[in-house]
Chains A and B, each alone.
Chain A
Amino acid sequence: MLRRVVARGSKEFRRSNSTSSQKVWSNFSKRSPSLKLSNEAINNNLFGKSTDGPGSMISHSRRAAYHSPNEIDSTFAMAYEILEQKAEDLYNQVEKLEQQLAQTKDEESIKQLKDQIDTLLIRAEIQNPEVMYNSSFNDPDSLDKTQPVYRKALEQKWKKYDLMVTMQRLEQLHVIPDTLPTLEPKCDVKIRFGHNSDSEFSHWIVPGEMLPTIAVSQPPTIKIQEFERVDGKNLYSVLLVNPDTPDLPANSFSTTLHYALANVPLDNVDNTIDPSKLLTKGEEYTLADFEPLVPEKNTPTQRACLWVFRQTKPLDIKPVARKHFDIRTFVQEQGLIPVGAHVWRQGFDRSVNQVREMYGLGKGRVFHRVRGIEPLPQ
């Protein structure tokens, strides 16, 4: 019975492939091909072209045993038409705005018009079933970030989970306000240490994770995903600081700079700072080379705070003092805008000495608890 329904649905509803009567969602002459659902089997099932069950199920027996809800195909066909009609109206509006844009010279109004176009494009595509499928079930890395609709979908996903985790950890570990007073997150910052062959440490690092020193001994790959439209390229800086360096004379801690990059040009698609990029152009970007945190024995757990900034102007590449680094003054002086942050933690472990040797940092100190000279309180 179900097969009959599907077959009927397919008769009623078949998207035409001829160019003459193409509606907006099946016309890829102006729209990006990344808005298409590339998997043929899934596409066929979605538009009722096949009767072999859902293409997203790999196993044949599962596919055969699956029963779609009754009437879903013919209702979907009608719904698709209604939504496509709305999308068509929106695309017509976009066309008008684009004509307006071509005549505008003023930079401010160009930006405004582009923003308007982006919101219209999002509204026109967000209900497109193919786009919906891609953004909810496909790998987020494979999405085309030039499309505002995919950026919107990614942003929603980020705000629902990753952003919350990051902010919770930053607050809980006192990264804010210990390093910078606050953060207004604008982009998703993810890091991983690509040199790790061990699967335990080769994934994207969850904020706040405790990591062994050997796992962080090489510079990380940093992914900075912007959700706003980036015209041309934006310049970014990255600072990695450790606010828990022991400062014995003051009986306190000081901040040390462990890694500083500046003037890194990135956009929506080219959004990663990885070793391959640094190999070729590393010198142009590097203010301070990567030096891993090497906690000495019996020091408290140390936080590696990674901050990402948008630059208002290009920075001068000149060496920065690592010890007693004042991140707040630096940020203020250089006019940096914090847009994202990440944190991981480290303690002393058996790999510290090996990493110290690797970077020529000498032997680490060992701290002991010393009984005070004052008598115990009575």
Chain B
Amino acid sequence: MFKSFAKPQSSSGVLTFIRGKRISATNPATERIVQQLSVLAAGRKQPKLLNLSNEDIVKHRTIMSAWKLFTRKKKRAEQEQLNQQYESICNAMNDLKETSPALFELASHKEKRLRFPLEMRFPTEYPPNRPWVYNFTGPVKKRK
């Protein structure tokens, strides 16, 4: 049925129009494409518009403004902490420069390609069967 890829083939080649004769349903391959199109298209799949009552509009707006207040507070606290952390990095480096220039040189040296290890994973909703991997055999050849 398939040549290079699953190609819809019409059995009769060209559809010819004959007066009085109903054009029958398309062949399976074309039907398949039509079905794929029906998955993509909005026709008959859209829900009804919300059309909320006045009370519910007010309720929804209240919820959204409370959510905005909540997230804004959270974001501000996060940014504040980051600012403090940045300040303390600058502080530490200035101090180190004063105290020991040799160590400062080493501390400000950057690798050309900074990469995070692949073992750092995203947290999941539930823990894995073994929450922690203990069998690490030791540094074979640690990174510099």
Contacts and interface: CB of A to CB of B under 8 A. Distances in A.
Nearest to A79: B66
Interface stretch (A130-138, A152-160, A207-215, A282-290): A130-138
Contacts of A68: 52-53, 56
B70 to A, nearest CB: 6
B10 to A, nearest CB: 47
A243 interface: no
Interface in B38-93: 50, 52-63, 65-67, 69-70
Nearest to B53: A54
A66 B59 CA distance: 15
* Majority secondary structure of chain A interface residues (helix, strand, loop or mixed): helix
Contact of A69 (B56, B67, B69): B56
A80 B64 CA distance: 11
Contacts of A42: 54-55
Interface residues of A, number: 27
Interface stretch (A70-78, A92-100, A255-263, A307-315): A70-78
Contacts of B58: 46, 129, 132-133, 136
A69 B63 CA distance: 13
A133 B54 contact: yes
Contacts of B59: 46, 72-73, 76, 129
A56 B55 contact: yes
B53 A56 contact: yes
A45 B55 contact: yes
A79 B62 contact: yes
Contacts of B66: 78-80, 82-83, 127
Contacts of B55: 42, 45-46, 54-56, 133
A186 interface: no
A79 B70 CA distance: 9
B53 A69 contact: no
A331 to B, nearest CB: 43
Given A82-B69, A82-B70, A75 B52 contact: no
B62 A80 contact: yes
Nearest to A138: B54
Given A82-B69, A83-B69, A86-B69, A54 B54 contact: yes
B65 A69 contact: no
Contact of A127 (B57, B65, B70): B65
Contacts of B52: 68-69
B63 A57 contact: no
19 contacts: A45-B55, A54-B55, A54-B56, A56-B54, A68-B53, A69-B52, A69-B56, A69-B60, A72-B63, A75-B63, A76-B62, A79-B62, A82-B66, A83-B65, A132-B61, A132-B62, A133-B55, A136-B54, A137-B54
Given A68-B53, A76-B59, 15 more contacts: A42-B54, A45-B55, A46-B58, A56-B55, A57-B53, A69-B50, A72-B56, A79-B63, A79-B65, A80-B62, A82-B66, A83-B65, A83-B69, A129-B58, A129-B59
